[in-house]
Amino acid sequence: MNWSSKGRFRPQERRWPRRRGCGSTRADDLEEAEAVAVVRGMEAALSFGLHRVFLLTDCQRLVSAFRDRTDDLSWGALTLAPDTRALASRFEDFRFEFVHRSCNYEARYWLLGVLVPPFLCSRRVRRPPLLLTLLYLTNSIRLFSPTRYLLLDHRVSCQAATIASPVSSSSDVKAKAGLKDFLHISDFDKATLLKILERAVEVKALIKSGDRSFQPFKGKSMAMIFAKPSMRTRVSFETGFFLLGGHAIYLGPNDIQMGKREETRDVARVLSGYNDIIMARVFAHQDILDLANYATVPVVNGLTDYNHPVQIMADALTIIEHIGQLEGIKVVYVGDGNNIVHSWLLLASVVPFHFVCACPKGFEPDEETVKKARSAGISKIEITNEPKEAVKGADVVYSDVWASMGQKEEAEYRRKVFQEFQVNEDLMKLAGPKAYFMHCLPAERGVEVTNGVIEAPNSIVFPQAENRMHAQNAIMLHLFGL
């Protein structure tokens, strides 16, 4: 690669491979590898938050190969141009490369137009820096960006006949050590989840008895990353880890800014060197995935905008304590189809029960997550806009705030839209006298739930909150293999 005195990439002529000098790699194989790289590279760009990708190339065969590999052009298109070099000055910041090292071959493509989420378009960034570099490395494509605004470091599978095995990643190191992460409920099978819940019951009983001899976390430290503040998450993790002999370190929004002040991959590696486990409560779900990918110690998802698995484990523990079982019950969630709903749906893809989400039109949960739960074929899943019908026969009625953190500017609008979705005494009467009320807290009393419902005898909100600590302790014990 050539760089000008200003540090900007100076475009070179496209070098096509000659049939001789390519070692064992045939030209046909190379063309296939490049075509795969283009398609996978565009797909990977989308996975990092890009909504639509248009690519410019001077090669007709790549356009054909792209069309052969996908008939869905809603997310992007490959466009033929006679001379990509002539466009280099205009599109210099919008390109990626394909490099095949064994053949000393490289190809360059220019991104014509990319729509990105609004948060990338700040005053500090005149236009989103979308430099993507694809290196054809040992059965994978590696994407990275030298900018600190858009972090792209991801491996995607690439089928090619001439490439060797992939380089080991932090995830491989973790797997070899027998360590796991807790990112999604559905990452575990039913037997494992129930085993964790049984362990939670045992550890809770020990703590309640006052016995402090059980110290499995003695000598261990936990880093707690809080991009989103939370009383319950901090106290439950910190106290729980301490009661079992460990030491927890709080890192608030001003202490650590993953992806802004420091790249997530660097944070993951540094904290892995100091600690035995990492818990993170973040906004973007990709942040927790990246953290787990680069950390060499277990990572626990304390919450993302997509899901909240530790909360649902505490909920499941609470239900088992009060009802006696989780399987076969009816859980009705009333409110916004948010990260809590996604976690319930993921649980329903592993453990069989009846789950209903009653929410206003336009506030339904993620469609792909609903499909995942339904396709598992073990639970009855319903999404409805009629809360009064939904709660009939419920064993549990569940609620959450209508405007989560980061949505407060929509609070007034949401209050109007969600008026019919308040959990009040009348709604609980429709559910029946045996129905329990649950809420993950914090609650806005008088908004999504009335004071009378929270304080009613069948409200198990506060045992539910306490069980966060016990469920999380059991999760960490499982991740450590203790």
DSSP letters of 220-277?
-EEEEEESS--HHHHHHHHHHHHHTT-EEEEE-TTT--BTTTB-HHHHHHHHHHH-SE
How many domains in the chain? 3
Residue that the structure tokens 């787990």 belong to: 292
Half-sphere exposure of 47 (CA within 13 A, CB side): 17
Residues 6+ apart with CB under 8 A from 479: 179, 180, 181, 182, 277, 298, 300
pLDDT at 185: 97
215 in the same domain as 162: no
CB 277 within 8 A of CB 481: no
Quick one: 32 and 157 in the same domain? yes
Q: Give residue 430's domain range.
A: 309-467
Same domain, 374 and 325: yes
CA distance 326 to 311: 15
Q: Are 95 and 131 a contacting pair, CB within 8 Å? A: yes
Domain assignment of residue 59, yes or no: yes
- Report mean pLDDT in 10-residue bins for the chain, 482 residues: 35 36 47 61 54 54 59 51 44 45 48 38 34 31 33 30 37 71 97 98 96 96 97 98 98 87 92 98 95 96 98 99 98 98 98 98 96 98 98 99 75 92 98 98 97 98 99 98 94
Indicate the SS3 state at residue 443: coil
What is the value of pTM for the model shown? 0.67
Q: What pLDDT was estimated at residue 404?
A: 78
277 and 412 within one domain: no
Q: Please, are residues 227 and 282 in contact by the beta-carbon 8 Å criterion?
A: yes
CB-facing half-sphere around the CA of 324: CA atoms within 13 A:
0
Residue that finishes a domain, picked among 305, 320, 348 = 305
**16 located within any domain:** no
Residues 128 and 259 in one domain: no
Q: Is residue 159 part of a domain?
A: yes
Task: Give the CATH number, domain containing residue 286.
Answer: 3.40.50.1370
Q: What is the pLDDT of residue 17?
A: 37
Q: CA angle 181-187-440, nearest 5°?
A: 85
Residues 341 and 458 in one domain: yes
Gap between the Cα atoms of 196 and 216, Å rounded: 15
- 193 and 296 co-located in one domain: yes
Place of tokens 């490289």: 106
H-helix segments, 276-420: 285-294, 309-323, 339-348, 367-375, 387-390, 411-417
Give phi and psi for 95, each to the nearest 5.
-155, 160
What is the pLDDT at residue 125? 33
Q: Is 101 within a domain?
A: yes
Same domain, yes or no: 180 and 163? no
How high is the pLDDT of residue 375?
Answer: 98
Amino acid, single-letter form, for residue 37? A
φ, ψ dihedrals at 130, nearest 5°: -115, 35
The tally of CA atoms less than 13 A away on the side-chain side of residue 444 is: 13
H or E segment to which residue 468 belongs: helix 461-480
Asked if residue 482 belongs to a domain, the reply is no
> Which of 280, 305, 330 is a domain's end point?
305
In a shared domain, residues 252 and 106: no
Active site residues: 440
Considering 250, 282, 305, which residue would you say is the last residue of a domain? 305
